[in-house]
């Protein structure tokens, strides 16, 4: 692939405004490249998700450059496990993560930086780094302070790095407090303590550090998966749970833009086509949007949405909420979501899960269907039809 200069990419993106997803530079992908890169240079992370695509710096740089320069994809989201950044009190890996994030800065791409599980053992009061949510408020306050400082310190490291452009941090980057906060469990497997009040508490703690360090970086609220089981939520649909959580979050003085993940599939009486799934995604977004405070309606972010290829061997359709489609149907779904008039009007950013397909044997402990969410072939040979379909839309004037 012929390389193009950074200046060309920067010029291309200069006129982007943060209006809504109709601005096509606000449509893109999730991919945990930071974790994959750090693994490729020898870092390990106990309990980290197995669904990462291990790749070298040069491989990732080539892929991002092609997406930015040739495919018109300008929106990305990274989920960085806290344990990968700061596994022990005496081991901080910020510089390695910054080496990779500098690519987004070089290419002037829009980026959400989210933090996720596992949480390192030294930060928590129990022994489960994947189910770290405490029941008592004193232990929560300690955990919250650790997390807020970690995220604030990482933002400061980005700001002070000569590899990162400060104007990019100010205009293109969002800090997301935590990935799918409403799903974080305690050691019993319950998420009833991952409340809107605690989500607001964490995000405001992060904002305190951003203010203290004088870092003018935008923020998203911790993302929501629609699974919170606290009082009054049990009878609600996933989208109603997200909307209600957001209402309660902002009532608790939570900060940042509203941030939802939407996965939905056709039920057993429907034909399992992309139209049914498109309708369900549209309806779910509408439910959330209608519940938002008026000053947040133009800020709604869909941080994850998508479907897997339904392959009989790995992705049998057994769950009425399963986000899977026949390959030929899925080829049209992402383009349909991206160009839908109502979805565009009600969302500010849309990021599909995910960019890279995974080798099935690379994701131990993870549903093998996860390997088929990407739009790039598992061998990194090129884009699948679903990606090409979306890219053709994004390239249109």
* Close Cβ partners of 160 (under 8 Å, ≥ 6 residues apart): none
pLDDT (average), residues 281-309: 96
Spatial distance between the Cα atoms of 67 and 72, rounded to a whole number of angstroms = 6
Per-residue pLDDT, 15: 34
What is the DSSP-derived secondary structure letter of residue 63?
H
Per-residue pLDDT, 319: 55
The residue assigned the tokens 């991919």 is: 31
Per-residue pLDDT, 365: 58
The residue assigned the tokens 């390990």 is: 44
Give DSSP secondary structure letters for 100-163. HHHHHHHTT-EEEEEEESPPPGGG-SSS-TTS---SSHHHHHHHHHHHHHHHHHHHHHHHH-TT
Spatial distance between the Cα atoms of 213 and 299, rounded to a whole number of angstroms = 25
Per-residue pLDDT, 10: 38
Confidence of residue 127 (pLDDT cuts 50, 70, 90): confident
For the domain 6-395, what is the CATH code?
A: 3.20.20.80
At 332-353, the pLDDT tens digits run 999 999 999 999 999 999 999 9
pLDDT (average), residues 212-217: 98
At 12-61, the pLDDT tens digits run 343 344 457 878 999 999 999 999 999 999 999 888 888 888 899 999 99
Whether the CB-CB separation of 157 and 164 falls below 8 Å is answered with no
Per-residue pLDDT, 239: 97
pTM given for the model: 0.93
Domain coordinates in residue numbering, the chain: 6-395
Lowest-pLDDT range of 203-217, 238-252, 288-302, 346-360: 346-360
Per-residue pLDDT, 204: 97
């Amino acid at each position: 692939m012929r390389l193009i200069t950074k200046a060309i990419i920067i010029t291309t993106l200069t006129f982007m405004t943060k209006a809504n997803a109709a601005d096509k530079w606000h449509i893109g992908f999730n991919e945990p490249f930071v974790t994959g890169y750090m693994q490729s240079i020898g870092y390990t992370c106990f309990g980290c998700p197995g669904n990462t695509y291990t790749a070298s710096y040069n491989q990732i740089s080539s892929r991002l450059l092609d997406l930015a320069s040739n495919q018109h994809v300008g929106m990305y989201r990274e989920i960085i496990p806290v344990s990968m950044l700061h596994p022990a009190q005496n081991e901080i890996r910020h510089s390695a993560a910054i080496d990779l994030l500098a690519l987004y800065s070089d290419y002037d791409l829009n980026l959400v930086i989210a933090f996720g599980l596992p949480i390192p053992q030294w930060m928590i009061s129990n022994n489960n780094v994947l189910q770290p949510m405490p029941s008592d408020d004193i232990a929560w306050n300690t955990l919250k302070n650790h997390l807020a400082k970690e995220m604030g310190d990482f933002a400061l490291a980005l700001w002070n790095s000569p590899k990162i452009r400060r104007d990019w941090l100010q205009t293109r980057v969002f800090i997301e407090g935590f990935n799918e906060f409403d799903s974080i469990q305690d050691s019993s497997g319950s998420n009833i303590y991952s409340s809107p009040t605690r989500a607001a508490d964490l995000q405001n703690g992060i904002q305190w550090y951003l203010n203290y360090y004088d870092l003018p970086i935008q923020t998203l609220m911790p993302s929501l998966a629609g699974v919170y089981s606290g009082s009054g939520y049990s009878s609600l649909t996933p989208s109603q749970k997200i909307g209600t959580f957001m209402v309660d979050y902002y009532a608790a003085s939570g900060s940042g833009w509203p941030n939802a993940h939407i996965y939905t599939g056709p039920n057993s009486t429907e034909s399992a086509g992309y139209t049914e799934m498109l309708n369900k995604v549209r309806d779910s977004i509408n439910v959330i949007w209608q519940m938002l405070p008026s000053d947040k309606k133009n800020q709604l972010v869909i941080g994850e949405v998508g479907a897997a290829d339904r392959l009989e061997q790995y992705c049998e359709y057994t769950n009425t909420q399963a986000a899977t489609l026949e390959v030929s149907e899925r080829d049209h779904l992402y383009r349909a979501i991206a160009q839908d008039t109502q979805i565009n009007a009600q969302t500010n950013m849309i990021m599909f899960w995910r960019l890279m397909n995974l080798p099935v044997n690379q994701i131990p402990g993870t549903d093998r269907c996860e390997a088929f969410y990407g739009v790039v072939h598992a061998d990194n040979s090129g884009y699948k039809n679903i990606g090409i379909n979306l890219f053709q839309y994004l390239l249109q004037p």
